[in-house]
A and B are shown apart, each in its own frame.
Chain A
Amino acid sequence: MTHNLRALAARLRGLFGDRRADQDLDNEIEAHLRLLTERYVRQGMTEAEAARTARRQFGNVTLLKEAHREIRGIRFIDTLFQDLQYAVRMLRKNPGFTLIATLTLGLGIGANTAIFSVVNALMLRPLPFPDPERLVWVEVNSGTNTGGKVEGGLFFNWQEQSRTLEGIAALNSSKTEIYQDRGRAYTRRFIGGGDLDLVEVGAITANFFTVLGVQPFPPGRNFIAAEDRRGSDRVAILSYELWQRHYNGDTEIVGKTIKLDAVKTKSFGDFIVVGVAPANFHYFYPYDVWVPMGLDPQRERAIDAGERTRLPVVARLKPGVTLEQARVELDTILQRYEMTRPGEKPRVDLRTRLVSLQEYYFGDTWRPLLVLLGAVGLILLIACANVANLLLARTLTRRKELAVRSALGAGRLRLTRQMLTECLLLAIAGGASGLLLASWLTRLLVRTSAVTLGEMSRMAAITIDWRVLGFTMLISLVTGLFFGLLPALRFSRPDLSVSLKEGGSGGGFQGRGTRNALMVSEVALAVMLLVGAGLLIRSFVKLTSVDPGYRAENVLTARLYQWDGEIDYHEQTLQRLAALPGVEAAGATSHLPLTGYNLRDYVFAEGHEPQQMESQPIASITAVNPDYFHAMGISLRAGRLLNDGDNQGSPLVAVLSETLARRLFPNENPIGKRIKDDAARQPLWPTVIGIVNDVRHRGLDHDVDLTVYYSYRQWPRRMYLVLRSAVAPSSLIPAVRKAALDVDPARPVFDVMTMSERLSNSIAARRFYMSLLTGFAALALLLAGVGVYGVISYVVTQRTHEVGVRMALGAQSADVARLFIKQGMAVVLLGLGLGLLGAFALTRVMRGLLFDVGATDPLTFASVALLLSLIALLACYLPARRATRIDPLLALRHE
């Protein structure tokens, strides 16, 4: 090892013209010659004769010096410079070729770099916490489910008993002292720096930031355990963004008081700020304020199952502990916890699941990214095949030059090296232009990725960093070798006599096999990409033609700041909004489609005893006002809609969605029958008064949701506003905001968005992947088309002479064109067939991304085949037509 290094060092010294080594050698030679001469003089020769003999015996001094320099490495660098110079000259002499090759490679490398920069940001770059590999997400799941939360009691047992964890923390329980509600984050009113604002509040255990390794600033602190108890001082940590917004980054923030709204008391409470979280700290949820959760371990262990807090949990492993070791330990504690719980049968189907935090965040993104990575990989391959073909054609025309150089003594290695240098130079130029393209593409990706890759992409900062640069360099070089090696190896040993004899025309069918193979693979790769894109396009078209069950156009939606049961405030606001000019109907619902809020539970029909719970329908349970159906465009199928008479004093009523009605009352008229649900109205039995059409609550790509609608007067909830407008809905926004503040100046509306926007956002990810893959497929088609065109053009040029002969002998121009088209299309069709087979095998990776389209959808496959054939036909026809214009006389003289 060391002597290899030393040899390398010696060589490197040689590179930089080691004068001393030259000098030493001169001295040695001189001394040697003198000694030899002296010896011959001693033997009786004259001085001149002796010197001559000595020199003869010593051999050629110049050659020796040369050899030494070569061994020391000077020649190596000389050759490299020569190669480079020559390569630059060759590339400049063929600007058309150079431009096309550079562009082709640039497109391929650019697309790869851009996608890789996303992969890098999401998958490869570690999370910005100290020792992020020790952070894990902890779940308790039954069976094979995932995403289960952890019961409060178990969480505290883990915290006390675990020896494999350095720390374990929880966030945002569904029940905390201050924010008693179900769901993930809650929008609360906030007063700080004198302004009213709406903020998202996250409740955490005191050690949450400590476990992550995050230190609040400026000189802030984390919560302490004593603050994480009921009745202790109320403290808060602000997000960087909120701190900037309301306090202009005031460094004296610690110790100041803010006010937050509490649900229980429906009034503001004072909180003392203890610190500010780092910028872009959007993990788990983009909260604006964090407060201690205040869970009581004793109580959590003692209460009934229904009341237990369920917590998302994050932990930090001790150094050297594996995920599996920690899992086994936590599982043991879990089993013990289940066994010792008072008055309950232990559940044996529960399993602890640990995943690294990185995987928890970005694991789901992997599949779509894999498809995109595959797509850009294919494009790069096509680009390589294209350039290799160009090079091959050019090398053929350069055969004479190569033969001359070979005849003049250039070795095979030298010729190969020369050609590879050219290719690498091309690849580097391609890499540079690719990087330019990538920096643009990456910016585009970032703009669209927040909707697509989720909240997390925002903090993952998709940028071109050293790892991306390294990747680009690597693929550029590999690409250069890949497309360069083939022609280089093929032609570095030209058959001298043949090439020199043939002259410049470069000879008929040599290299045809390789060229055709490249063309076949190009076409096949393009077909695979086209099929992938085609499937996504078909999915998207199908998705957008799905009937959501409501009419989203001309609907403005917003959330009211409200507590449960505030019917009067609600009535007042709705009346005011309904009176606004341009508002056709003022509806309201507790659970607006596409918001992610949904309350689902079992529904039962009176008189139909449930056979098995598994087959019992689970429905979305929703409170609406009478105008909601009109505002949303949901239509009545039977019976009547809710009306103003359905209020607190009157009999309980319910409206069912069609499918739910059918499921609950098969072969019966449901109107007038009674139902019951497990969530809202238990144990009362509301009467069914009407049936409305089905709605896809969770999104276009979900099944219709079975839904029960109650009158909000009989089941008061916090509501979303749904305003049907006669004018453009977004033009109503200022008036709506003002109307809400008129009713109560301390209650702004929030989450204001048109229903069309919500619908469009709900399919943004699909649209994004579809557009991207379609763009890539178009690129592939273009490259493949250019490739086919190039090859056929080349063949036409090669066979000019032959065409001349044929035409002179009476061939029609149509015959000639057919000849080339037939030859080209035979290769294309082979590629097409292989591509379709490849797509057949590969598209199953995309199954999760498709909607209502099989991974082997025949229509898509057929359309792709047709499209590609047409493009290829065009690419063959254009050069073939040129062949028909050949003047036989000129062609025969062509040489």
Chain B
Amino acid sequence: MSKGRSAEAQKSEVLQGTLDLMVLKVLDALGPQHGYGIARRIEQVSEQVLQLNEGTVYTSLLRLQQRRWIASDWGTSENNRKAKYYSITKSGRKQLARETENWERIAGVIARLLKLEGQE
């Protein structure tokens, strides 16, 4: 990780815990995906701002699966290979809603806070 920072100082690291939220949101928005697809989507949306070790997506997937927020199933990928597909569960959607609200609240607070400091 520290290697990445020195090489591409411009990019921000993914905040701890936010990756899970991103993965959930991707699965919610796009329907069942395999790990690669999720990584692509995050990369696409972040427009090169976020620097992500794509392997960590799998850790996130395992964590989410253990909490039963997502489920996995074997399917066939675009190139006709067997691949593991992840989809969001009902409790995952609830969690996503909670997390989203939470995130927005915190983001709002931080935004206000930063603005406040700027004025002084």
Contacts and interface: CB of A to CB of B under 8 A. Distances in A.
Interface of A: 3, 6-7, 10-11, 24-25, 27-29, 31-32, 35-36, 57-61, 63-64, 67-68, 71-72
Q: From B62, B66, B91, name the one whose CB has the most chain A CB atoms within 10 angstroms.
A: B66
A28 B84 contact: yes
B2 to A, nearest CB: 12
B63 interface: yes
Contacts of B35: 28, 32
Of B54, B79, B81, B84, chain A has the most CB atoms within 10 Å of the CB of B54
B103 interface: no
Contacts of B83: 28, 31
Given A3-B67, A32-B36, A58 B55 contact: yes
B59 A3 contact: no
10 contacts: A6-B66, A31-B77, A31-B81, A32-B54, A57-B53, A58-B54, A59-B54, A61-B55, A67-B59, A71-B63
Nearest to B72: A24
Contact of B39 (A7, A25, A32, A64): A32
B55 A72 contact: no
A593 B67 CA distance: 77
Nearest to B7: A56
Interface in B82-96: 82-84, 91
A7 B79 CA distance: 33
B56 interface: yes
Interface string B22-52: 0000000000001110010000000000000
Contacts of A63: 55
Nearest to B43: A57
B105 to A, nearest CB: 25
A10 B56 contact: no
Interface of B: 34-36, 39, 53-56, 58-59, 62-63, 66-68, 77, 79, 81-84, 91
A3 B56 contact: no
Contact of B36 (A3, A25, A36): A36
B54 A68 contact: no
Given A71-B62, A72-B62, A64 B56 contact: yes
A375 B62 CA distance: 53
Interface SS of A by simple majority: helix
A64 B83 CA distance: 19
A455 to B, nearest CB: 60
A198 B84 CA distance: 87
A378 B80 CA distance: 73
B68 A28 contact: no
Given A24-B84, A32-B39, A36-B36, A71 B54 contact: no
Contacts of B34: 28, 31
Nearest to B61: A28
Given A3-B91, A28-B35, A64 B84 contact: no
Contacts of B59: 64, 67-68, 71
B81 A68 contact: no
Contacts of B62: 68, 71-72
A27 B36 CA distance: 12
A50 to B, nearest CB: 15
Contacts of B55: 29, 58-61, 63-64
Contacts of B54: 32, 36, 57-59
Contacts of A24: 84
A57 to B, nearest CB: 6
Contact of B68 (A3, A32, A71): A3
A67 to B, nearest CB: 5
Given A10-B66, A25-B58, 11 more contacts: A3-B68, A6-B66, A24-B84, A28-B34, A28-B83, A31-B83, A32-B35, A32-B36, A59-B53, A60-B55, A72-B62
Contacts of B77: 31, 35
A67 B81 CA distance: 26
3 nearest A-B pairs in the assembled complex, by CB-CB distance: A59-B53, A59-B55, A3-B68
A289 B34 CA distance: 83
A305 to B, nearest CB: 76
A32 B34 CA distance: 9
A28 B66 contact: no
Contacts of A64: 55-56, 58-59
A180 B10 CA distance: 108
B104 to A, nearest CB: 26
Contacts of B53: 57-60
A29 B53 CA distance: 12
Contacts of A67: 59
A10 B72 CA distance: 14
B68 A6 contact: yes
B52 to A, nearest CB: 8
A64 to B, nearest CB: 4
B41 to A, nearest CB: 13
A3 B63 CA distance: 13
Contacts of B66: 6-7, 10-11, 71
B40 to A, nearest CB: 9
A869 B113 CA distance: 66
A70 to B, nearest CB: 10
A31 B36 contact: yes
Contacts of A57: 53-54
A27 to B, nearest CB: 8
Contacts of A25: 58
A53 B62 CA distance: 25
A58 B40 CA distance: 12
Nearest to A71: B62
A28 B59 CA distance: 12
A11 B67 CA distance: 11
A35 B36 contact: yes
A11 B63 CA distance: 11
Nearest to B83: A31
A62 B72 CA distance: 23
Contact of A59 (B36, B56, B81, B84): B56
Contact of A29 (B58, B63, B79, B91): B58
A61 B56 CA distance: 10
- Among B55, B82, B84, the most chain A Cβ lie within 10 Å of the Cβ of B55
Nearest to B65: A10
Contacts of B39: 32
- Considering residues B36, B82, B91, which has the most beta carbons from chain A within 10 angstroms of its beta carbon? B36
Contacts of A31: 34, 36, 77, 81, 83
Nearest to A8: B66
A628 to B, nearest CB: 88
A64 B63 CA distance: 13
Given A35-B36, A71-B62, A7 B67 contact: yes
A31 B77 CA distance: 10
The residue among A11, A24, A31, A72 with the most chain B CB atoms within 10 A of its own CB is A31
A32 B39 CA distance: 9
A35 B84 CA distance: 14
Contacts of A36: 36, 54
Nearest to A31: B83
A192 B53 CA distance: 94
Nearest to B38: A32
A633 to B, nearest CB: 86
A36 B36 CA distance: 8
